[in-house]
Amino acid sequence: MRILPAAKKRPLLIVLAVAVLATGFFSAKDDDFFALRKNFRIFGSVYEELVTGYVDRPDPQRLMQVGIHAMLEDLDPYTTFMDEADNTQIHIITRGSYGGVGLNIDVRNEKIIVVAPIEGTSGYKQGVRAGDVITEIEGRSTEGMTLSDLRNLMRGEPGTAVELAVEREGAPEPIRFRLSRQQVTLKNVSFAAFADSAAGIGYIKFDRFARGAAAELREAVQTLQKTDRLQGLVLDLRDNPGGLLDEAVEAAALFVPQGSVIVSTRGRTLRNERAYRSENPPVAPDLPLALLVGNITASAAEIVAGAMQDMDRAVVLGAPTFGKGLVQVVKPLPYNTSLKMTTSKYYTPSGRSIQAIDYDQRHADDAPAADSLRQRFATRNGRPVRSGRGVEPDTLTSLDAKSELEKALVREAAFFFYANRFAARNDSIPPGFAVSDAILDDFAAWLEEEEFSYRTEAEHALATLEEQLARNEYESMQDEIAALREAMLSEKHAVFERRREHLKKQLREEILSRYFGPSARIAASLDHDEHILAAVRLLEDTPAYTRILAPR
């Protein structure tokens, strides 16, 4: 923020007040106007005195930003002040594009790893691979850098270049790339195919609601329809964090009658109250639908799931969604900064809010609403639904069939890193590749080399029991404890053997993605992903599907 030169006699707070008045801030009631003007003058005076008279010269910009962030902390976590870098990220979220080299990155084992290069980009064309560890950028070590730091350095004006050095499994020395930045467009729909071709059950992976999301979904549905085999559709929203409300409305409109209310918003003022309706005829008005949701499904994705559920247009499967029922707008501020501010809440067609946390109650633990406070509503067919806990699935069946071993392998990125090693040692794989017993045994040996370990819930319970026995000096039970520990270790080895076929399938996904990209991973998951298989089975069982949506 700029500070007026000392030669100016006009007090800073008056200048700031005039600027605020000029933006048309004061459209509230007279009491609000008085409180705002009074407290703004106090804030401005404190800020001016600190900047001009504090014993150690403070950084004016940092001091103001600390004050702004402290003020916003008292509100919900979605109302935030954004500097120039944050504005770039918002642009990516809303428009689905940015200037960069096309590398999806993440932190694995405290290293910045390329998760996947985006097809068609400079990173993809010049041979950066999934699993590469980025060690340098523009001659600077990436040690200690955050993901945000590295992303900001990789992004920039299309046509400019950036130099990277990576470490690759099997390569004796770092590999250096000079990558050209270009306009990178992120896909909203990352995969569309038949999950069960014989039964005509389609599957679409829907990743985000950036600009153009509804058009991509329309194209994917129509492509499947052109085969004349489409009898049902699984729409996967499990990892979809949301995006633009308008895109969510248009996406839901592809499946519901024209003129249907899909979502409504209500805020502090009348201008924030609006009902969003489907404006065009649906492309698939009668197609049986199953929606997969999970704990990460949020915001715009919840709008679609909530609307489909309330209109009894789809069966919702999976886990309860995140529960973000707040709508934000981005208000431009001076010097390429912005305020992302919550202005309203959205409500599903039945009238329920799916917001899980009431930030007005100032719960220190951000706990969701208690069951006793959740209102009951009804879908179009009279099925009960409740507010205040996200969108809850229509079925209570747990679909998480992974063992503790598999969860630990995913958590430690073991499949990911072994696939790097496999690809470094094998230039190609044969058509119809499958993970053999020999490959799985090599995977097990590699886990031993890497000293992979994990603790089961039973081992945690045993450790707690040992502590309690030690405190109470029950030394006579040490033999029994040792026997339990040995039995648990034996069981962990047995789990690996029992889950061999499941482990092979998960390893195959990761290996295929090294040779054919992320879409190959999704395609490989269709025959063993428990959520997808459950959705396909339901769509194939018309009586069961109908009983859920129209119970007697």
Catalytic residues: 299, 310, 324
Is the C-alpha dihedral spanning 117, 123, 129, 132 positive or negative? negative
**Burial class of 302 by CB neighbour count within 10 A (0 to 12, 13 to 18, 19+):** buried
| Beta strands at 103-108 and 97-100: parallel, antiparallel or unpaired | unpaired
Q: Is the distance from CB of 93 to CB of 210 less than 8 angstroms? A: yes
337 and 85 Cβ atoms separated by less than 8 Å: no
Q: Which residues contact 181 (CB under 8 A, 6 or more apart)?
A: 99, 100, 101, 122, 154, 155, 156, 157, 158, 159, 160, 161, 162
Residues 6+ apart with CB under 8 A from 118: 102, 103, 104, 124, 184, 186
Q: Write down the H helix ranges in 23-83.
A: 30-53, 60-72
Alpha helix stretches (DSSP H) within 371-499: 404-411, 414-425, 437-449, 457-471, 478-498
Instruction: Quote the distance between the C-alpha of residue 25 and its chain's center.
Output: 34
Phi, psi of 349 (to 5 degrees): -55, -30
**Closest listed residue to residue 354, CA positions, set 311, 394, 388:** 388
